[in-house]
Chains A and B, each alone.
Chain A
Amino acid sequence: MATRPLQPDPEEIAARQAVMALCADANRDDLDAAVKALAPPAVEDLRPPETGLVMATGRIGGDGRPFNLGEVSVTRAAIRLPDGASGFAYHLGRDRTKARLAATLDALWQDPARRARVEAALEPAARRADADRRQAARRTAATRVEFLTVARGED
């Protein structure tokens, strides 16, 4: 049975956050394919998937006191596997199915015995997200500009 360590290990949390970020960036089909490939046992809702709001905050000047920028729509899901492991997801948007799939993957990932398989199932989504990011960066890089100040010719 997957148990959560009493003292959460920062490395473990960082790895779990990375998988959560990957699921948040992925689309529903990616997550559906990943869950199908893992064929998890029956999943029970700890809390029915629900759409709500999170107030996105920024900082004055980019690095100062926080202020409320505006809300983002967020859908959350919480599930439990038959072995008791629970999984959570909070995603931008209103896709309840996707959030529930991500919560399932979160629960499966926490079981060290399943971790490698979960990460392998998410590999195509990770690769595509990485390729998209790289292409966006390459397109942006092509618009890098060097401005020159022109001497005004006044001696």
Chain B
Amino acid sequence: MYVAVKGGEAAIDNAHRLLAEARRGDPAVPELTVAQIRAQMALLVDRVMAEGSLYDPDLAALALKQARGDVVEAVFLVRAYRTTLPRFGASTPVDTGAMAVARRISATFKDLPGGQVLGPTFDYTHRLIDFALAAEGTVEPAAEAEPRDDADTCPRVTDLLTQDGLIEPSPPDDGAPAGDLTREPVDYPADRALRLQALARGDEGFVLGLGYSTQRGYGRTHPFVGEIRVGDVAVEFVPEELGFAVPLGRIRLTECQMVTQFKGSGAAPPQFTRGYGLTFGQSERKAMAMSLVDRALRAEELGEPVTSPAQDQEFVLAHCDSLQATGFVEHLKLPHYVDFQAELELVRRLRAEFFRDSDSMQEAAE
């Protein structure tokens, strides 16, 4: 049990002033602007938006500045901010098939309608530190080429496989509203929609580790990247007073369709099954890991033995949130004096009993 403490006000005030100075760092070095963070630490901003579960690049950049670059602290700030805002409603589901693609790759088919485009990627770079970046300089403008005629039509790879019945279809839209874990606590077993919401806002490192564990044999699924696409999609919302879909603007998303082997069961023929990942921003690692864990969490549904952490939905969902995890771990550093005092008393009493018993045993032996 945690018992409140009081006092320390002046020290706390001064600690926060010291924090402000430490945040600013050497005043001889120019201060970072929110616009600089947003533009030049874009993938970090994307991560804070994904785990903060709030798409607002300026706000995420500001949170990162305030948090001195600490991702989980920035997520905390963003989550706290969102609790101050009213919810207008839910968007109509975004259509990732109509995405203005900035990157699209497939590890399963080399020739796709619409083609594969690498976009701005670290893939195939040599991972050598570029010391030229330490100096300020101008960047060579990006190359341009005329888009081919088919560039505007990028069917999902999974759609191509669906046509042949080789892959399971997506679960159909039955019109039922999706559960929302920000509104009601999660009841287990949680359905796939709720699991995807939790994974989309889950800690990238945790979800990555779980995804990796499935590859190493803890709930193996034989995955292939059917497709990864990164790009902008329009978000629409139907306000009551208008009764038609209002375009809110565009957001950047990363989608991963993981295609996995399935030998079939008594009820289902052999076919490929799917894991799905979708995240705010450009966040391929997260989307891929999410799709691996999504598939692993379908073990029971697909009649596979549930033997590994990544297949255990309560383990995954209850521990994937970086804010919940940090809250419980970090609360341990707050003063627990009363609590500990009680423990101290207990250990003293047990020790006294232990030595009294061993003394009397020794006496008896003698």
On A, residues with C-beta under 8 Å from B are 8, 13, 17, 20-21, 24-25, 50-74, 76, 78, 88, 90-94, 133, 135-149
**A58 — which chain B residues lie within 8 A by C-beta?**
93-94, 96, 196, 253, 278
B245 part of interface (Cβ distance < 8 Å): yes
> Which of A13, A65, A88, A135 has a CB less than 8 Å from the CB of B144?
A135
Contact A92 B102 (CB under 8 A): no
| CB-CB under 8 A for A138 and B145, given A53-B86, A62-B257, A68-B193 | yes
Contact B94–A56 (Cβ < 8 Å) = yes
Most interface-central of A8, A13, A51, A54 (chain B CB within 10 A): A54
Partner among A55, A63, A73, A137 whose Cβ is within 8 Å of the Cβ of B91: A55
Q: Is the CB of A141 within 8 A of B89?
A: no
Across the interface, which residues of B come within 8 angstroms of A92, CB to CB? 55-56, 235, 248-251
How many residue pairs link A and B with beta carbons under 8 A? The number is 240
Bound together, the chains give a CA A105 to CA B80 distance in angstroms of: 34
B147 within 8 Å of A (CB atoms): yes
Q: Which residues of B are interface residues toward A (Cβ below 8 A)?
A: 49-50, 53-56, 58-59, 82, 85-94, 96-97, 100-103, 105, 110, 115-119, 142-148, 151, 156, 158-159, 169-174, 176-182, 192-194, 196-197, 200-201, 234-235, 237, 239, 241-251, 253, 255, 257, 274, 276, 278, 280
From known contacts A72-B251, A144-B145, infer whether A21 and B234 are also in contact, taking CB-CB under 8 Å.
Answer: yes
In the complex the two chains form, is A141's CB within 8 Å of B146's CB? yes
Across-interface contacts of A57 in B (CB, < 8 A): 90-94, 178
Name the CB-closest residue of A to B174: A65
A-B pairs with the 7 shortest C-beta distances? Answer: A64-B170, A61-B170, A67-B193, A92-B249, A21-B247, A142-B143, A138-B144
Minimal beta-carbon separation of A43 from chain B (angstroms): 17
Partner of B55, one of A65, A72, A76: A72
Query: Is B53 touching A65 in the complex (CB atoms < 8 A)?
Result: no
When C-beta atoms are compared, the residue in chain B nearest to A68 turns out to be B197
**Given contacts A62-B255, A139-B144, A144-B148, A67 and B178 within 8 Å (CB-CB):** yes
Q: Which residues of A contact B235 (CB under 8 A)?
A: 54, 56, 72, 92
In the bound assembly, the distance between CA atoms of A62 and B229 in angstroms comes to 11
A140 in complex: contacting residue of B92, B101, B246, CB < 8 Å:
B101
Bound: A93/B182 CA distance, A: 20
Q: Are A141 and B145 in contact (CB-based, < 8 A)?
A: yes
CA distance A94 to B91 in the complex (A): 17
B278 CB to nearest chain A CB (Å): 5
Q: A17-B246, A61-B274, A141-B146 are in contact. Are A73 and B59 (CB under 8 A)?
A: yes
Q: Closest residue to A88 on the B side, CB-wise?
A: B242
